[in-house]
Structure 1
């Protein structure tokens, strides 16, 4: 008897189909019934590869071998899922299987996964397409009654393959071309680029450029303190003629740009009576939409500091391991229109009724009152804001499943709580406020006071009182016609601030909305709802930029490195805006949409991509490193060899009169012009941090010019004579920082360390030494003075763990044996009042008696 083979994208979907269709028996990694064989991929099982005869090994990456545009592509199995691929190929080739059903996710990536599997298996059997936007049993059964022909999906399949191949061509050739360019003068300098990765990096570099070039401007604000019979209130002066900030982004109605005008207004209004008018309006606020992956990552980063990658990992665990969330890699914030009954059942689970023992009763107790209220108040009704098929793409919004929670880690619990509260909130009524705007006129000058009082919490009740604090500002009442007294008028000075650096939360927002400012309406429409990357890939794009050392994480901020600025300088200088602007993605999406509709052929699209690839390589071939255009200047300090002028180029600081030059990037760190000026003038600069060794570990060093005027690292070790013996160190011009904790001699700054005077020179009787930089945290002389005099520094916040590479805060303390150690902030763990502490220094008699301390030396 012949059967059809159903292939889904994920094992969980295969299980859902088996339950909905019924009659299946499970055999390891596939199911079988009288009519069907059912199995799944595990996401992508194959990836593109250049055919062996066209591939060029990494050591041969040179312009002579570029561009790489093979006439066809090979597919290679992804190693970790190769066993699943072999199973699917075996099932496809079964003699009793006479046709295939593509049940992969309804979208371009799902189509690509299935296409690659069947291409690899050389399938010739007919294909039908299951197209589902809802996973309810009824929707699945109905979907099998209206299977589409595989030929109907040709446009979508072509678009998927073209997107994959074009990403490969631009990424591979762009990376090899930029690497070849940067390696012209020797060495191998890997310089990765990509269609999504590089425009994302451009956003961060552009923001950092704005921060660095920002010039603060002074402005003043005028605030009046008014007294009425009911009490006191405040109001801020504002310009009633203000028309917005079209020309000046820092302009505000309540900002004064001239202090003299502020003083004049202050004197004008001081002590005079005020006339009050006010207007109150009812206002309402709907709950936020359900989460898609990007909004979940954004909020988890803002609330808990979770990286996008960590949030995705937690969401995947809650989906796959715990079965508590629906599929997380979604860009939809709505549910299918047939999901009302499923939502009702989910709410019933959240009430806690009928849930067996062993589940997290405390967690369910938080949700039960709100879930019960929704059901009893009949608030669960068809609502196009929540249930809307037109807003469901490959997957629907992230919501809790019917499974009750248990055995969650703290991070998992936090993320699950976010999703459940958002799910409960959206079925609650809007929050209602009374917003009052009061204008107090003093001698004709207006002062505005605003108050917002929560009348009905609505959905805010789900989040408790914390969500309401700050929204309530009760105004003291002013009787009709009452004149108020101006107690004081305060003029305060402020300064404008530069834009904030990107956090992962704000970068995800920028990636999601990239392209919305495009002038071209068609390209803007093509980018709508897509942006840079997809919800499933954005986290990995950020991690790739970090891994390639284009970005650094500092707390929650993402900072571009010298390598990032160098890449942008190179691409802009070469004139390749295609790799830095989101317009490339917009143009691709527009053309891929035409491919899907059959308005453009696959051959035509790929011909354009090949031409663009050739253009990128040709531009890189046409320049030398010293001819790249850019915003380069000239140093004020002359050449140490010939006294000539030194100019900055793309890769060097180059003397114009002789061969003397200094590389701009050394050990992964780019020198600023001011640092090179200091090096040339003082023959020494530093200590500088941010260098990285061959294993990628950061280190700090002093850079000095040797006798031949060549730069070299100085790690602060004692000087040695020509015979290798240690020389005397002259501290007569150095400042004494304190007494050595080991021998009471004097301590000085010496190279990369603070040292006891008896620990250097030919005769040494002490070994006290502490680094001026410890785990990437600079230890300023003032902190060493505190350590030597009081036994501890202030709390220092920028240590970076050598193992985890995460920042941490600690005090440096003087231990009993004179060594320098860490002492962490005192916190009270649950269930005990004993502070946790780690370091060489004793934690104090009481703490030592109560619990042993794990000791850990500071890296000095």
Structure 2
């Protein structure tokens, strides 16, 4: 038993547990033996378990304060509520009423907050309590995984709810500040330029980084460079510049002269250097690192990876809490490592994990450090039994990444001996390099499938010497040069962002932004860059859905709308320093060292300055994607836009909000080039179209697939279309999100 019965009158007093999601509530209810089903909750002898559905309560829309705000008028800005109002979200109002009923039961003595252990999780619960007017005593369940063991231990160590008051004030301040800046600036831009424009302290600097990369590419002038390779003693030697060690030269004539000079000359080995080296495991995953890897390896978007992780955490319970910014575990987790190894010792991991289970666990500061953990530790496997056959293919891929990282940190370093040889031919330096593996170490966790190719997005890095198999040679040996070849190449511009590299840029924006302010740079590093691990995926999705960016293959490019927005938006909102300063303040509020009232007063003053700047600006906005197709609702011409996975026509009138999908990227592959085809609907006929020119009607496609033994039923197509619709949910009003539920953090 976790608590004693408290008798009050004729009642046996109970504790009400408030979880964030139904799946977590079910797990808690099972552990607490709450088997009785009641509306919106589950009840037992000592506990009642209920749940939110994410946020049940949110900040009121502007029109909730004054009906005049239904009309968007510049003269009404800035909107600054004197008293913040909370409203129940209509779509989940029934569950809110169920939760409220349980809160005010006479036999409920206290509330146990069991929402996600973090700033936003605290806000979910506290807003419900504030809106309902419930003031019963609070306790806090703070756990990083939802296994039965973690739940039991968490209830055995409940915290005083008052200990998290400061965290709530930080969360509340963030939400109110985003409302003030996001909604006011969005309305001001939209009214000023009569276009659907939105901005925010995180999304706008992110857009600015994409624009800056595009400008770097546009201004880049490729240059031809040359290198020289020769073969001597069955080894490929590469020319190196004597001072810099560079393997390339921009003077073609100079390189051709060297080529002519060395053809008849011997090559003499001048030095042989052998160095024993160690390479350590890349470290455990936080959410951003996992999203990067999943995008680079599998093409998953940041949002897809987060959704998959959430299922592995909530439904399968095989991985710990996903929304973490730490890549370390605490000393309290170390005693559980053996149990976690046993749990994931299945299928392809059985032999790799088995070798660790039978030995003492070796830990070090590279992945165990209490000082480097904030709210949650790194993403690792739980102690829950794993059933791989119950996972989807996508879930298996993400689980595989996490498990192999977890196993790899428990293995010793990868050890190898690197040999570098330098030689002389006609006074020129040539080099060759080789590697001999001494111990696979942590790479054994990857079954020799380790891929260390980093997608850095930097194409200007000096190429390194390639490793090759080298025979045993001695200093002073000479060889005849049997072949000489002048190599050529062209310098490349920086690569466009992919979701993987954009996540890296958001995490470390100092690399991509101009800032000579040392304090600002330090602040950015301390606050973790733009946004948080939990919100970056949503920010990227929002930029796609606002048609400020689009995809070409895996590359992200800025649209004309995005470029124009950056010319119109106030300069401050394009800088990551703004988010950094906010996060520093919010962290101080969460620690209790800063006052939320002071922070919000500063935000109100800043909002007034923003509106004044927008009001006085003299820019213009022009739609460059206008079509001749008329909107069926208002008659105005529609705009052609590219969604993340589709092409659409949307109405230019922000108040109309009409949109129509005209083509959607499918999972069907072209029989000629094997690329994914678009599914285009014209009238009542649907046709697959490939970029290579191949076309095939949907009806013909189904017949062909049936003949190939992979029949596609009408039900399959309907299910597929339903999934596609989920991926690009239409927004009846593109500004609904900006008005009511804008989240820019």
Instruction: Specify which of 204, 229, 253 is matched with residue 198 of structure 1.
Output: 204
Distance in 1 (CA, whole Å) between partners of 2:708 and 2:624 is 55
* Aligned counterpart, 2:239: 237
Q: Secondary structure at the match of 2:417?
A: strand
More helix, by proportion: 2
Q: Secondary structure at the match of 1:100?
A: strand
Question: What does the per-residue CA deviation read over 1:61-83, in whole Å, with 9 as the maximum and x for residues that have no partner?
Answer: 22112111111222223344433
Inter-CA distance 128–323: structure 2 relative to 1 (3 Å threshold): closer
Gaps of 5+ in 2: 1-6, 8-12, 454-465, 630-637, 650-661, 718-745
Instruction: Give the C-alpha shift of residue 197 in structure 1.
Output: 1.3
TM-score of the aligned structures, taking structure 2 as reference length: 0.78
Instruction: Give the C-alpha shift of residue 795 in structure 1.
Output: 5.0
* Aligned counterpart, 2:680: 802
Inter-CA distance 583–849: structure 2 relative to 1 (3 Å threshold): closer
* Aligned counterpart, 2:294: 300
Given that 2:145 and 2:313 are in contact with CA atoms closer than 8 Å, whether structure 1 keeps it comes out as no
Given that 1:532 and 1:585 are in contact with CA atoms closer than 8 Å, whether structure 2 keeps it comes out as yes
* Aligned counterpart, 1:551: 549
Given that 2:325 and 2:533 are in contact with CA atoms closer than 8 Å, whether structure 1 keeps it comes out as yes
Question: What does the per-residue CA deviation read over 1:142-193, in whole Å, with 9 as the maximum and x for residues that have no partner?
Answer: 766765554443332221111111111111111111111211xxxxx21011
* Aligned counterpart, 1:413: 396
* Aligned counterpart, 1:770: none
* Aligned counterpart, 2:193: 182
Instruction: Give the C-alpha shift of residue 92 in structure 1.
Output: 1.9
TM-score of the aligned structures, taking structure 1 as reference length: 0.68
Inter-CA distance 299–384: structure 2 relative to 1 (3 Å threshold): same
Q: Secondary structure at the match of 1:467?
A: coil
Instruction: Specify which of 398, 423, 431 is matched with residue 379 of structure 2.
Output: 398
Tell me whether 1:157 sits opposite 2:168 in the alignment: yes
Distance in 1 (CA, whole Å) between partners of 2:128 and 2:385 is 33
Instruction: Specify which of 215, 219, 228 is matched with residue 213 of structure 1.
Output: 219
Tell me whether 1:73 sits opposite 2:56 in the alignment: no
Distance in 2 (CA, whole Å) between partners of 1:851 and 1:39 is 45
Q: Secondary structure at the match of 1:592?
A: helix
Question: What does the per-residue CA deviation read over 1:748-801, in whole Å, with 9 as the maximum and x for residues that have no partner?
Answer: xxxxxxxxxxxxxxxxxxxxxxxxxx9799xxxxxxxxxxxxxx9995969644
* Aligned counterpart, 1:735: none
Instruction: Specify which of 54, 66, 77 is matched with residue 65 of structure 2.
Output: 54
Instruction: Give the C-alpha shift of residue 579 in structure 1.
Output: 1.1
Inter-CA distance 535–79: structure 2 relative to 1 (3 Å threshold): farther
Instruction: Give the C-alpha shift of residue 414 in structure 1.
Output: 2.0
Distance in 2 (CA, whole Å) between partners of 1:527 and 1:287 is 23
Given that 2:146 and 2:313 are in contact with CA atoms closer than 8 Å, whether structure 1 keeps it comes out as no
Given that 1:221 and 1:493 are in contact with CA atoms closer than 8 Å, whether structure 2 keeps it comes out as yes
Aligned residue pair count: 656
Pairing 1:262-411 to 2, within 5 Å after superposition: 262-276=255-269, 277-351=271-345, 364-378=346-360, 380-401=361-382, 402-405=384-387, 406-411=389-394
Q: Secondary structure at the match of 2:483?
A: strand
* Aligned counterpart, 1:100: 111
Given that 2:308 and 2:395 are in contact with CA atoms closer than 8 Å, whether structure 1 keeps it comes out as yes
Instruction: Specify which of 466, 483, 492 is matched with residue 488 of structure 1.
Output: 483
Instruction: Give the C-alpha shift of residue 536 in structure 1.
Output: 2.1
Instruction: Specify which of 560, 574, 577 is matched with residue 580 of structure 1.
Output: 574
Tell me whether 1:111 sits opposite 2:129 in the alignment: no
Question: What does the per-residue CA deviation read over 1:357-402, in whole Å, with 9 as the maximum and x for residues that have no partner?
Answer: xxxxxxx331111111111233x24444334333333333223332
Question: What does the per-residue CA deviation read over 1:400-449, in whole Å, with 9 as the maximum and x for residues that have no partner?
Answer: 33222223322222222222222222222221111111111223321121
Instruction: Give the C-alpha shift of residue 490 in structure 1.
Output: 2.3
Given that 1:5 and 1:99 are in contact with CA atoms closer than 8 Å, whether structure 2 keeps it comes out as yes
Pairing 1:700-715 to 2, within 5 Å after superposition: none
Inter-CA distance 666–126: structure 2 relative to 1 (3 Å threshold): same
* Aligned counterpart, 2:657: none
Given that 1:133 and 1:393 are in contact with CA atoms closer than 8 Å, whether structure 2 keeps it comes out as no
Inter-CA distance 586–340: structure 2 relative to 1 (3 Å threshold): same
Distance in 2 (CA, whole Å) between partners of 1:580 and 1:256 is 39
Given that 1:225 and 1:488 are in contact with CA atoms closer than 8 Å, whether structure 2 keeps it comes out as yes
* Aligned counterpart, 1:560: 558
Instruction: Give the C-alpha shift of residue 528 in structure 1.
Output: 2.6
Work out which structure has the larger RCO, using CA pairs closer than 8 Å and 6 or more positions apart in sequence.
2
Gaps of 5+ in 1: 184-188, 243-251, 352-363, 629-649, 653-662, 670-688, 700-773, 778-791, 814-820, 825-835
Question: What does the per-residue CA deviation read over 1:327-377, in whole Å, with 9 as the maximum and x for residues that have no partner?
Answer: 3222222334223343322322333xxxxxxxxxxxx33111111111123
Tell me whether 1:476 sits opposite 2:458 in the alignment: no
Q: Secondary structure at the match of 2:680?
A: coil
Instruction: Give the C-alpha shift of residue 808 in structure 1.
Output: 7.5
Distance in 1 (CA, whole Å) between partners of 2:267 and 2:115 is 70
Distance in 1 (CA, whole Å) between partners of 2:712 and 2:21 is 48
Inter-CA distance 562–56: structure 2 relative to 1 (3 Å threshold): farther
Q: Secondary structure at the match of 2:449?
A: helix
Instruction: Give the C-alpha shift of residue 538 in structure 1.
Output: 1.6
Instruction: Give the C-alpha shift of residue 312 in structure 1.
Output: 2.0
* Aligned counterpart, 2:626: 666
Inter-CA distance 314–58: structure 2 relative to 1 (3 Å threshold): farther
Tell me whether 1:594 sits opposite 2:472 in the alignment: no
Moved more, 252-261 or 432-441: 252-261
Pairing 1:685-764 to 2, within 5 Å after superposition: 691-692=640-641, 697=647
Instruction: Give the C-alpha shift of residue 472 in structure 1.
Output: 6.3
Inter-CA distance 479–387: structure 2 relative to 1 (3 Å threshold): closer
Given that 2:24 and 2:314 are in contact with CA atoms closer than 8 Å, whether structure 1 keeps it comes out as no
Question: What does the per-residue CA deviation read over 1:518-558, in whole Å, with 9 as the maximum and x for residues that have no partner?
Answer: 53436634653532222222222111111111111121111
Distance in 2 (CA, whole Å) between partners of 1:154 and 1:454 is 54
* Aligned counterpart, 2:728: none
**Over alpha carbons, which structure has the higher Rg?**
1
Question: What does the per-residue CA deviation read over 1:674-714, in whole Å, with 9 as the maximum and x for residues that have no partner?
Answer: xxxxxxxxxxxxxxx994499x9458xxxxxxxxxxxxxxx
* Aligned counterpart, 1:225: 231
Pairing 1:434-449 to 2, within 5 Å after superposition: 434-449=417-432
Given that 1:30 and 1:39 are in contact with CA atoms closer than 8 Å, whether structure 2 keeps it comes out as yes
Instruction: Give the C-alpha shift of residue 302 in structure 1.
Output: 0.8
Distance in 2 (CA, whole Å) between partners of 1:446 and 1:75 is 73
Given that 1:550 and 1:560 are in contact with CA atoms closer than 8 Å, whether structure 2 keeps it comes out as yes
Given that 1:526 and 1:590 are in contact with CA atoms closer than 8 Å, whether structure 2 keeps it comes out as no
Distance in 2 (CA, whole Å) between partners of 1:501 and 1:70 is 42
Given that 1:371 and 1:424 are in contact with CA atoms closer than 8 Å, whether structure 2 keeps it comes out as yes
* Aligned counterpart, 1:769: none
